[in-house]
Structure 1
């Protein structure tokens, strides 16, 4: 598919935003007479704009490809390839939208523009792992062409669409044409790197052959407008006997831009983290054992070497029951609390150790990779 779908791009797209102007009438002063003769007005009807014309495949690629970047993430688990959408400049940088799973765990993240093939270091501005979205900042990328955004609200089953991205991580933008097959779909995704699962809802289902590496790239309509962010698919090795028909899913651009606005305006929530990621240094899972005397909490399954958790005395099998004065009844409670914190913040922990004894300790959060 990489050989058959490659399109080179040369054209840039500018996004124009029209602003409305309100005219206010000024009332006459008391006691004056309006002696002005009645005005004669002529109604001028502007001609209707010509209907939008769908782009040919080469035209569509030429319009969209310069507005994407390929994303490369190095982590403790290896290297992940993905795609990003250039949204707009911010100061001397470019703001880019991608999937959270593309940058998850990244200790070194970089993006290469498909406009000038220049490589940019990527800073994580914020993310929401539950919605599989992340916002990046590319210092020095303020002149990069930006994507033309449409709306998923206008999408209908049967509409032609094209997903464009870094298919198979080859560093070459590859278009995958298809059509909308369903709207408002809920799926459970699995991260191919660490096996973690996540449920996404309200998705656009298409029959385009989206491949690993396309994640975070644009799903565009026939006019080259972004209506979704490619996030998941059922891609299998090619030439596999009885392989299923291509099926992939995109996050509507409307809801994705809500997350972008929340991140850029610095409004964290239970699922949205802003800025550098704080690290406690543990992996946890729910602990709910009715046969145990240990209360519900977040059971520690792994403690990182020389992490704040290890320094505080936490060990595998311990159950965290309180975090900075807030009860912890499940692993998600710990995640929610961490989303609101930043590297350098001091916290107090209470936990139950392997012998059933209550323990407590204080620590200072370190900076870690996005999670």
Structure 2
């Protein structure tokens, strides 16, 4: 059936033809106006299927793993989100930072898995894990477009307080694009994070790495900090303020790790070990600590030495040395040049060992 506009055009055409048969008018084809027939508007997309809190939890819990990372000195509890049936998981870097062993329990089947670290980006607090021997696991539904708005209701789900079972925390989006200084609850270290989703849900230790979901149980973020200080000099706010890495940011890192592409912030594969801690020095990276029996120890590096060159590239700060290490792997051979206590230049060729993720 033609539209009303189309029907009127047809009627006019018939009337003109009828007139032509009775009394032919002059033919002026070039002056005939073009007529555009309006197309019907596309139907509006159906509204999202808003779920009850119980339905949200029922959909989210099976795609979670609880994590325990053992650094030899302390165990760190966290949460992971299952991305693939064969056990690729995304979590926070700070959950697995320094871990010698990591174990996971899948909340869909109760099975326990040994965990391998595929890669990480500490600057965005994201790590990518692999559950050994996993198969046929349920996977999370991820948001594919940034449709989140301030005021949207959300739910954070995770291994709160490391108790081994999921606990939901409900709230609303209060800000987007936030920058914070996150402080580790295990070692007190700080990390500056940006581009985060801020919510007023009460995210607790152990929730780190778990999902922030919308009312359709779709993952919109990876929970990374609760009641973090936006300014280290100010006390935490009285009202809950928690933060999540947008899922698009997290998945960009996941995809980069899985494709094997390192960068200035993304490390792929096993972590190399030099065996030192360093700080900034006007001449380079000053050594604060040397591990006994490490490659640095065998090379003769000592506390107070200042590294000035790493693998043929000048080192002007501790950050630059860390960035050079990101692209390296256990077994790589590197040249290191440093200044000793007397200011004399020394050098050595060092084979990197394997260490925990950093």
TM range (shorter): 0.7 to 0.9
Residue aligning to 2:318: 331
1:105 Cα offset (Å): 0.3
Residue number among 173, 177, 182 corresponding to 1:184 in the alignment: 177
Residue aligning to 1:80: 76
Residue aligning to 2:52: 56
Q: Does 1:263 align with 2:257?
A: yes
1:53-104 Cα shifts (integer Å, max 9, x gaps) = 2111111000000001011100033100000000113xxx311000000000
Residue aligning to 1:253: 247
1:151 Cα offset (Å): 4.5
Q: Does 1:363 align with 2:350?
A: yes
Residue aligning to 1:279: 273
TM-score, normalised by the number of residues in structure 1 = 0.81
Which protein is richer in helix relative to its size? 2
1:88-147 Cα shifts (integer Å, max 9, x gaps) = 13xxx3110000000000000111101011110110000001110000011222211000
Structure 1: 5+ residue stretches without partners: 1-42, 237-241, 289-295
In 1, Cα distance between equivalents of 2:347 and 2:295: 13
Residue aligning to 1:342: 329
In 1, Cα distance between equivalents of 2:103 and 2:196: 27
Structure 2: 5+ residue stretches without partners: 1-38, 230-235
Residue number among 219, 224, 227 corresponding to 1:231 in the alignment: 224
In 2, Cα distance between equivalents of 1:77 and 1:234: 25
In 1, Cα distance between equivalents of 2:150 and 2:54: 24
Residue aligning to 1:5: none
Residue number among 315, 338, 345 corresponding to 1:351 in the alignment: 338
**Aligned residue runs from structure 1 range 1-371, under 5 A:** 50-89=46-85, 93-151=86-144, 153-234=146-227, 244-288=238-282, 296-371=283-358
- 2:183–2:228 Cα contact (<8 Å) kept: no
Q: Secondary structure at the match of 1:154?
A: coil
Q: Which has the larger radius of gyration?
A: 2
In 1, Cα distance between equivalents of 2:124 and 2:242: 16
1:359 Cα offset (Å): 1.1
In 1, Cα distance between equivalents of 2:159 and 2:175: 24
Runs of 4 or more, structure 1, over 3 Å off, are 43-50
1:24-79 Cα shifts (integer Å, max 9, x gaps) = xxxxxxxxxxxxxxxxxxx9999876422211111100000000101110003310
Q: Secondary structure at the match of 2:146?
A: helix
Q: Secondary structure at the match of 1:212?
A: coil
In 1, Cα distance between equivalents of 2:225 and 2:57: 21
Pairwise CA RMSD of aligned residues? 2.0
Q: Secondary structure at the match of 2:335?
A: strand
In 2, Cα distance between equivalents of 1:243 and 1:327: 43
In 2, Cα distance between equivalents of 1:283 and 1:204: 32
1:243 Cα offset (Å): 7.5
User: Across the two proteins, how many residue pairs are aligned to each other?
Assistant: 314
